[in-house]
Amino acid sequence: MAATGLRMGVVGGSIAGCAMAIAGSRAGADVTVYERSTGELQDRGLGIVIPPPLHEQLVATGYLDAAMPTAPVATRVWLTRQPGQRSAREFARQPSPVTPCNWGLLWRALRAKADSARYYRGRPVTSVERTASGHALVRAAGAEESYDIVVGADGHRSLTRHVLAPGLSPSPAGYMVWRGALPLSALDGHQRQLELLRSAWITIGYPGGHGIFYLIPRGGGAGPDERLLAYAVYAKPPAPEPGDPQELAPYVREIADEHFPPEWADIVARGEHTSMVCHPVTDLHAPRSADPPFLLAGDAAGVTRPHTASGAVKALQDALCLEEALRGSASPAEALRHYARERTAEGARLMELGRRLGGAQVERTPDWTAMDQEAVDTWCRATLAGSTSYLYGGVR
């Protein structure tokens, strides 16, 4: 079926929303995107890692422009503090090809490719519902529109998900992630760390958590080779927890001071962040990612723990799957059933993988000081439990 004439509404115009809009338009649908935010989403300058083959596929199929800057590296380096000392010890190195992107640049690149869709900014959807004729009704800004298909790409608090999975709510993992981006001036005087980051992404293990560091394109009009340092740090929050997790943002510096080798603690402490967020880590998986005429994409369909680095990846793969399903099915309902079969299973797999990685790398951390290359490879294999992850491509 070419989806010519099919009317597709998309709730949410972020990574998943723009990717789904491209998918629908490429398959021939007439697409309308409703985005609640009035601001520029490209301002979210955090790091996103995607697998190199997916990046190549997205460029080859026209979802992304080849000119979008990326900062690829092929190795993962594991560090911890020397036993009984503060200095850093490298204890393992694994092949791990990744394509780090700047979240804002990725959004902007997808948004540009979604230009044949109608994109309404500052237009929150207030409700979606199924009509007696099997269509989907979208209400926004006091008006209502009927669609053949409605995509819920409205993030982890998705309103669309309530139609498919009423009452589903995220399960807290019991720990938090601090996510930031720093100008490279934070690495002034740390030439060895900068050189390492130019060829590898770094994991620093400590009791009760770990931190990830990698370079991303700077964005914001800078040249394609200019970089920011992105990090994600995982740990349990201090007690008592404040009502607003953002109040805990400065706590990342205490974690770094207490647990990181001093040069890495210094980098986190001295940087004037360009972006900084912290929030609880949760698990969420909708038991059905589509039920005609609705389907869910990206975080609306499920949130996996960030250790899998797969939220945006899943959203992009959701879009590729929708395009294929629309092109290859006899009706929109058949296309959505095809989508549900493939994407529900993948969401469940990633949530399980995220739980295992979180268990091994935060909830029950090993004695990092006792780890060596062989111990890391064995421990990674056990954590993966036969599952695949592009981050662990070299671990067999």
Ligand X SMILES: Cc1cc2nc3c(=O)[nH]c(=O)nc-3n(C[C@H](O)[C@H](O)[C@H](O)COP(=O)(O)OP(=O)(O)OC[C@H]3O[C@@H](n4cnc5c(N)ncnc54)[C@H](O)[C@@H]3O)c2cc1C
Residue nearest ligand X by beta-carbon distance:
311
CA–CA gap between residue 262 and residue 273 (Å, rounded): 19
Nearer to ligand X by C-beta: 49 or 340? 49
Shortest distance in whole angstroms from residue 6 CB to ligand X = 21
Give the total residue count for the chain.
396
| Helix (DSSP H) and strand (DSSP E) numbers for the chain | 10, 18
**Cβ count within 10 A of residue 320:** 18
Shortest distance in whole angstroms from residue 47 CB to ligand X = 6
Shortest distance in whole angstroms from residue 131 CB to ligand X = 19
Nearer to ligand X by C-beta: 154 or 346? 154
Q: Quick one: DSSP state of residue 261?
A: -
Shortest distance in whole angstroms from residue 11 CB to ligand X = 5
Nearer to ligand X by C-beta: 229 or 371? 229
Shortest distance in whole angstroms from residue 16 CB to ligand X = 3
Residues forming a β-bridge with 75:
95, 200
Nearer to ligand X by C-beta: 12 or 292? 12
Binding interface with ligand X (CB under 6 A): 11-17, 34-37, 41, 48-50, 124-125, 153-155, 159, 177, 179, 232, 298-300, 306, 309-313, 315
Burial class (CB in 10 A: 0-12, 13-18, 19+), 342: middle
CA–CA gap between residue 108 and residue 114 (Å, rounded): 10
**Cβ count within 10 A of residue 48:** 21
Nearer to ligand X by C-beta: 37 or 378? 37
Shortest distance in whole angstroms from residue 137 CB to ligand X = 14
CA–CA gap between residue 360 and residue 372 (Å, rounded): 16
Burial class (CB in 10 A: 0-12, 13-18, 19+), 269: middle
Nearer to ligand X by C-beta: 211 or 292? 211
